[in-house]
């Protein structure tokens, strides 16, 4: 007879297999995309040797250049504004006695997370169409404002989490030592909440950089960002340039999310 395995209370047969399959499913499609972005041939099914050619093709594509520029201009501005606004809002909603209107403020902040993106996108299209007609302004500011709004909750959550874990005693001590409120904020509160602000701003940056739906509806002609450019291309003939662009965007997201993860861990 075979030696019987020790009975484990925690084990359920087959679960580990499904879990491994699940992780494979999560990663295999992206990995294949990344690997084939280095393919010398133009197929995603046949490997024809290593090459950087699709990266240089994407780099030389003027459409891609302008989309990258737009993406960066919007993401940098939106994440900056959203972080400032979210930091202020976090200071105004944490470590305080409950006050009237606080629930309304929470609802407002979380709204972009709750309303389906397509609904917000269409609503913004309607509103901005009216404003465009009235003011004749066609620039990138519409996209920056729209991105700022939906980035606020993503910037807010890590900042608030950080603030909630902070002790009031240090600020009280600063006040006891005759620091003005501004000075105690600058020299005590701000340095302490800095990891939260950093994490929040990076998250906002990634979210803005990756947005498709709202950008697709708000943009005017010639304002493609990388994701909306890709969405347009997917309807036509797909070139392996798409794989190269995808890989770059993936790497940016993964690096930033990893840094946030490490920032959060060093806190504990």
Partner 1 sequence: MNSSAPGRQLSSVERVALKRESRRNILLCTPAMIVLFFAASGPLLVMLVYSFLTPGDYGGVVYKLSSDGWFRVFFHQDIFDETVSVASAHLSIFWRSIKLSLLTTIAALILGFPTAYFIATRPVKSRNFWLFLVTIPFWTNLLIRTFAIMELIRNRGLVNNVLMKFGVIEQPIQMLYTDFAIMLGMTYVYLPLMILPLYASMEKLDFRLIEAGYDLYANRFRVLRKVIIPLVKPGIVAGSILVFIPSLGAFVTPRVLGGGKNMMLGNLIELQFGQGRNWPLGAALSISLLLIVMVAMLLYVKNMQKNKGEQN
Looking at residues 179 to 198 of the shown chain, list those that interact with partner 1 (rule: CB under 8 A).
Answer: none
Q: Is 67 in the site for partner 1 (CB under 8 A)?
A: no
> Alpha carbon of 144 to those of 78, 214, 221: distances in Å?
5, 11, 16
Binder of partner 1 out of 43, 56, 65, 220 (CB under 8 A): 43
Q: Is 12 in the site for partner 1 (CB under 8 A)?
A: yes
Query: Rule CB under 8 A: which of 219-238 touch partner 1?
Result: 227, 230-231, 234, 238
List own/partner pairs for 65-72 with CB under 8 A and 24 or more apart: 66/222, 66/224, 67/224, 67/225, 67/226, 67/228, 67/229, 68/226, 70/140, 70/143, 70/223, 70/224, 70/225, 71/209, 71/225, 71/226, 71/227
Binder of partner 1 out of 3, 5, 49, 116 (CB under 8 A): 116
Residues 6+ apart with CB under 8 A from 125: 217, 218
Q: Is 96 in the site for partner 1 (CB under 8 A)?
A: yes
What would the two tokens of residue 213 be? 């739906």
| CB of 150 vs partner 1, minimal distance in Å | 7
Q: Is 40 in the site for partner 1 (CB under 8 A)?
A: no
Q: Of 51 and 253, which has the nearer Cβ to partner 1?
A: 253
| CB of 72 vs partner 1, minimal distance in Å | 15
Residues facing residue 50 across a β-bridge:
39
Angle of helix 226-234 relative to helix 241-267, nearest 10 degrees? 140
H or E element, residue 121: helix 117-135
Q: Is 174 in the site for partner 1 (CB under 8 A)?
A: no
Candidates 73, 204, 80; CA nearest to 142 is: 73
Binder of partner 1 out of 6, 100, 169, 176 (CB under 8 A): 100
Q: Is 44 in the site for partner 1 (CB under 8 A)?
A: yes
Q: Is 11 in the site for partner 1 (CB under 8 A)?
A: yes
Q: Is 199 in the site for partner 1 (CB under 8 A)?
A: no
Contacts with partner 1, 125-164, as mask; x by CB under 8 A: xxx-xx--------------xx-xxx-x---x--------
Angle of helix 15-36 relative to helix 241-267, nearest 10 degrees? 130
Query: Rule CB under 8 A: which of 14-33 touch partner 1?
Result: 14-16, 18-19, 21-23, 25-27, 29-30, 32-33
Q: Is 112 in the site for partner 1 (CB under 8 A)?
A: yes
């Amino acid at each position: 007879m075979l030696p019987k395995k020790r009975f484990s209370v925690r084990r359920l047969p087959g679960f580990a297999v499904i879990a491994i399959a699940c992780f494979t499913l999560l990663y295999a499609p992206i990995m294949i995309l990344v690997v084939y972005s280095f393919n010398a041939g133009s197929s995603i099914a046949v490997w024809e040797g290593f090459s950087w050619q699709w990266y240089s093709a994407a780099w030389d594509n003027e459409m891609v250049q302008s989309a990258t520029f737009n993406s960066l201009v919007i993401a940098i501005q939106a994440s900056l504004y959203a972080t400032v606004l979210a930091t202020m809002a976090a200071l105004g909603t944490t470590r305080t006695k409950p006050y009237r209107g606080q629930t309304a403020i929470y609802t407002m902040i979380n709204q972009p997370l709750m309303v389906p993106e397509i609904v917000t996108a269409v609503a913004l299209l309607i509103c901005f169409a009216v404003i465009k007609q009235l003011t004749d302004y066609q620039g990138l500011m519409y996209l920056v404002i729209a991105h700022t709004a939906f980035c606020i909750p993503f910037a807010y959550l890590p900042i608030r989490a950080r603030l909630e874990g902070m002790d009031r005693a240090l600020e009280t001590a600063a006040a006891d030592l005759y620091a003005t409120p501004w000075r105690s904020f600058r020299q005590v509160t701000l340095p302490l909440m800095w990891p939260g602000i950093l994490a929040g701003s990076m998250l906002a940056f990634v979210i803005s950089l990756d947005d498709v739906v709202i950008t697709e509806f708000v943009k005017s002609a010639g304002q493609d960002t990388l994701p909306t450019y890709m969405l347009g291309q997917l309807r036509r003939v797909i070139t392996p340039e798409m794989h190269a662009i995808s890989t770059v965007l993936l790497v940016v997201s993964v690096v930033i999310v990893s840094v946030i993860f490490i920032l959060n861990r060093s806190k504990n």
